[in-house]
Structure 1
Amino acid sequence: MSEVVGSHDLLLVTLDTLRYDVAAELAAAGRIPHLARHLPGGVWEERHAPGSFTYASHQAIFAGFLPTPAAPGPHPRLFAARFAGSETTAERTFVFDAPDLVSALAGAGYRTVCIGGVGFFNRQAPLGSVLPGLFQEAHWEPEFGVASPTSFEAQVSRAEQVVRELPSGQRLFLFVNVSALHQPNWFHRPGATRDAGDSRATHAAALEYVDAHIGRLFAAASSRRRAFAIVCSDHGTAYGDDGYTGHRLGHESVWTVPYAHFFLEPGATAR
């Protein structure tokens, strides 16, 4: 990453609450073609989340602790704060002296922009202002939130606006927290009802909805120059697995998440 920071625009997308098993199944079945065409080998990497709910996981991510590969390590990190004794800081790691990655990228000349989704980014209370407060520019509207059936479309439209209005020479770090996977998501599956509630199937339908629009986001992020993208979940969620429901708990459905990083070439079409 040390050779990428400063020369590329950066895109970080957290697919909030996305389970690894659902993401892997949909990729294998050809149900998320727009995401799959960018995944190395067409598959998600299985990783372990740095936290079991949005706030904790994003605090770790913004400190340089992305989800960790689900295999024995050590695993060199892309980004790391400088501190003595780190076993995961490697030669190509982007090492920073700021308290968080967002501030470090701002110090390196990036415009840092947050497009929030779930409540921890809504700035409607002090707690919901902590994470977006790391950024130079933060956006949240009710249309971006978990209750909106068209949340991701609205978020992508705002991202396109941000990119259009940015000076051509300005480097960009764009972060998007996608809320569509988070409960409630029943409205993404045709025929589902509010009374029946959310399920693993509606969770999968929400990912298909995101896939249908993510090409626009990738096209916007790479419209000015080559971009480096990280797309991952911050944590999963349980739908009755071993009797568990939800997240903020220590179950495999919560700790195991999909991850990918890749380059986006300039001039990509919004497919």
Structure 2
Amino acid sequence: MPPSDAAAAQAPPATGPAGGAPPKALEPPEIPRTPKTPEVPKAPETTKTPETTKTTETPEIPDMNEVVGRDDILLITLDTLRHDVAAELAAAGRIPNLARHLPGGRWEERHAPGSFTYASHQAIFAGFLPTPAAPGPHPRLFAARFAGSETTEPRTFVFDTPDLVSGLAAAGYRTVCIGGVGFFNKRGALGDVLPGLFQESHWEPEFGVASPTSFEAQVERAEQVVARLPAGQRLFLFVNASALHQPNWFHTPGATRAAGDTRATHAAALEYIDRHIGRLLHAASARRRCFTIVCSDHGTTYGDDGYTGHRLGHEAVWTVPYAHFFLEPSP
């Protein structure tokens, strides 16, 4: 099994002739089909969090020049989440707390800007969010000022700094990172690069891939960050949720380390996140309207076509779920 992107950086403690009848239409040749990936087994029903945060569905592309400076901004990367698993769980009602905020109740299918965490986040923080999975060009929400850009348009927030984080800081935002996988652990030079873009960054072993309660711990830290901010201070909060990244076997009751990670345990990890994400969304919108982006940075493989892991070119890695929406202020 090839090493995954973050596990290596953080150690745990894929008409006829005249008078004749019209000729029979030619049927197209049958296209060989890739064997369908088994559906995720249904897990026990989860408890639905009471709805305390209201969502306003966005136009396809909101005017980000109005958003920036007016609203708080929340970016959540559900690290390693596959689009097919996310779509199945939303359709089956297994992630109700996320699904209630998805426009139309569905994830948008997009293509990741990278095949592993570090590459993808470097692109995201430069303004290159996952791209709609259809021919483009597609206008972007954020973009660095760049001559000849074909995806910058009047609704795009254009910044004059090297990255979005410092661009928002220049617009008066407090920028805060709550890291998850090893590329955010601040242990060594590489683990400092992404968190170092922010004015304030947080990482603890409890936030990492080896912790069965990582997302709860991250949410608690986010609540603390929001609580101590002055009322008038705009916030750009970034959370890298590590729970879906391998290892994730422990999110399925009765699973064992020996049985390993599977597509089903990947799904269970998303259900785990769903049980706690309401608190994060509530905190992010507690002070004012919050523009929220929830997406994956890349997917991963569990034996698909013989592949395991990511940092490779399989469809399961490149295809990711995406949504953006406004959260109205919480009472």
What range is the shorter-chain TM-score in? over 0.9
TM-score between the two structures when normalised by the length of structure 1: 0.98
Mapped pair 1:242 → 2:305: yes
User: What amino acid maps onto 2:215 in structure 1?
Assistant: F
Residue among 215, 235, 247 paired with 1:152: 215
In structure 1, list runs of 5 or more residues that go unmatched: none
**1:191 deviation in Å?**
1.4
Mapped pair 1:206 → 2:269: yes
Q: Distance in 2 between matches of 1:143 and 1:84?
A: 43
Show the counterpart of 1:34.
97
Show the counterpart of 1:168.
231
Mapped pair 1:88 → 2:156: no
Query: What whole-Å deviation, never above 9, does each CA across 1:168-208 have from its counterpart, x for those lacking one?
Result: 10000000000000000000011111000000000000000
In structure 2, list runs of 5 or more residues that go unmatched: 1-63
Q: Distance in 2 between matches of 1:96 and 1:241?
A: 40
Find the structure with the greater CA-based Rg.
2
- 2:119 counterpart SS class: helix
- Counterpart mapping for 1:55-204 below 5 A: 55-204=118-267
Count of matched residue pairs? 268
**1:38 deviation in Å?**
0.2
User: What amino acid maps onto 2:209 in structure 1?
Assistant: V
Coordinate RMSD, CA, aligned: 0.5
- 1:177 counterpart SS class: strand
Q: Distance in 1 between matches of 2:73 and 2:102?
A: 17
- 1:172 counterpart SS class: strand
Q: Distance in 1 between matches of 2:273 and 2:235?
A: 22
User: What amino acid maps onto 1:165 in structure 2?
Assistant: R
- 1:154 counterpart SS class: helix
Percentage of identical aligned residues? 86
Q: Distance in 1 between matches of 2:174 and 2:144?
A: 20
Mapped pair 1:219 → 2:282: yes
Show the counterpart of 2:317.
254
Query: What whole-Å deviation, never above 9, does each CA across 1:90-127 have from its counterpart, x for those lacking one?
Result: 11000011000000000000000000000000001100
- 1:242 counterpart SS class: helix
Q: Distance in 2 between matches of 1:61 and 1:222?
A: 22
User: What amino acid maps onto 1:169 in structure 2?
Assistant: G
**1:2 deviation in Å?**
1.0
Structure 1 segments (4+ residues) deviating >6 Å: none
Q: Distance in 1 between matches of 2:265 and 2:191?
A: 26
User: What amino acid maps onto 1:258 in structure 2?
Assistant: P
